[in-house]
Structure 1
């Protein structure tokens, strides 16, 4: 029985990243038809934003090399589900060209709050990466395509250790100043705690960034993703990234484990009386189906419980 708590939003938008962030680190290639069905099932389960793929060079992320083959398979999905958004990640202007040629209507860029990760992930400094994104964001805006800005390593970096909030705010504000419409704060290696989340969001508030432009993206390395999400909700955040079945990691940060599982998030939100528009059982069935295609059980606790008949 849902029990509402004071100080929480009435509705949360879930930004589903399973098909992109969740699958990008899989060692065996997932067939394009399986990816298309995965996205179709996620949309049918009520997820209004499903990040479909990435237009990064195939050399760097071979799992997503089929972006040009995938996107046409999703034609008609937005008509079947009005309001559905299918954003894609683009690394540079060439990636933007490829995306626009396929009629993509939402894009994202991926920056770093630390220098070491920027060098390892983008082969350039964090500041140089932002400048690389400037023409991408500007051209996308001119085409009427909004850009989400991902900022990674917002709480800790495997090489640099804890990341100062002021440093994260600096890079986050610069991403927004480029023209990004939304900023997703990533706990890429899953080391954040609720107090750190509250501190960082307060720092953005002091910098004049409206909380409505901020999303959160937690990994569950230390089992803190749900606690961190609840802390963010109490600060006014209403957009939360999650990955169906808890799929994912980061190919450039080996200590990064899976994303917050969408099912675990939905279970908590619905228990708090927060609307999501998601059919939890349909979502659980989808993740169970995908786990079968990947040949291993889903790490999501809610998926395990509901498919195992131990909760419901």
Structure 2
């Protein structure tokens, strides 16, 4: 029996195609308690690429003491060879030391990871928001000089576990400062998954009013409260066309304990296929990739679509 697929009913309020920015190999695996071998990570990336995911964040050059899971960043990229390089294979770099290691590995794209709130900046970066922007400035300048594509993440855009609600203008201020450094793309992170549809619309409107184009903006929703897909649809109706997601719904944030998994790439692809939106992803191939990764991790995938299609009625 062939795999079930959604009935296609085109939705004219949505874009005709989107770009999926796949974060499973980095954001998805960074909190795993047991270290996943570099060979498995490289194979995961290869399988995701063969399923049609064109943009894959591969790893992070953070201090191994902070995130032991990603201590093998250089080894993973060496295993991938040319498959791990170029503008569609970004790596996260926290500072200039991380950038040095990334440049040594021959990467073609980097991402920096800022915070909309002071408390999370302190906990995640050990710096104030101002100090973190100062830290990122030479990273972005040197990356641009080296011809790299640069993404800027802003975390805690919709709520912070220590500070509570985060004012929209505060998020816009930090986003503007990151983009002013010279980032090519901005990713708005709902780190603890508390965003709801009206809040998403308000933030996107406020960014546009500040002159930050939605063609430069991506959304990164977590599914802690089951809102990731509905929030993504609101963003797409607003003109966003780049969506961060994680194969199999892997991931969270090691510095925010209430953060559960990212939006599952399979759940996103199922919704997009049903609305007649092109993603370039072969859902069946991706499904087998996420099922394989779940076996490597020794537990079932949190993705609703993976569960539904691997246990069909």
TM over 0.5: yes
- Encode CA deviations 1:14-65: one digit per residue, 9 max, x unaligned: 0000000000000000011000000000000000001000000000000000
Distance 1:170 1:4 in 2: 36
CA contact (8 A) 1:11 1:276 kept: yes
Question: Which residue among 5, 10, 15 is the counterpart of 1:9?
Answer: 15
Alignment RMSD (CA, Å): 1.1
Aligned length: 307
CA contact (8 A) 1:48 1:84 kept: no
Corresponding position of 1:227:
230
Corresponding position of 2:100:
97
Matched position secondary structure for 1:56: coil
Normalised by the size of structure 1, how large is the TM-score? Answer: 0.97
The aligned runs of 1:1-312 (5 Å cut-off) are 1-77=7-83, 85-310=88-313
Normalised by the size of structure 2, how large is the TM-score? Answer: 0.96
Shift of 1:3: 1.1
Matched position secondary structure for 2:253: coil
Corresponding position of 2:4:
none
The verdict on how the C-alpha distance between 1:201 and 1:4 changes in structure 2, with shifts beyond 3 A counting, is: same
Shift of 1:84: 7.3
Distance 1:230 1:109 in 2: 25
CA contact (8 A) 1:15 1:51 kept: yes
CA contact (8 A) 2:191 2:222 kept: yes
Distance 2:88 2:183 in 1: 16
Matched position secondary structure for 2:75: helix
Shift of 1:6: 2.0
Gapped regions of structure 2 (runs ≥ 5): 1-6
Distance 1:257 1:149 in 2: 21
Q: Which moved more, 1:37-46 or 1:6-15?
A: 6-15
Shift of 1:77: 2.3
CA contact (8 A) 2:60 2:73 kept: yes
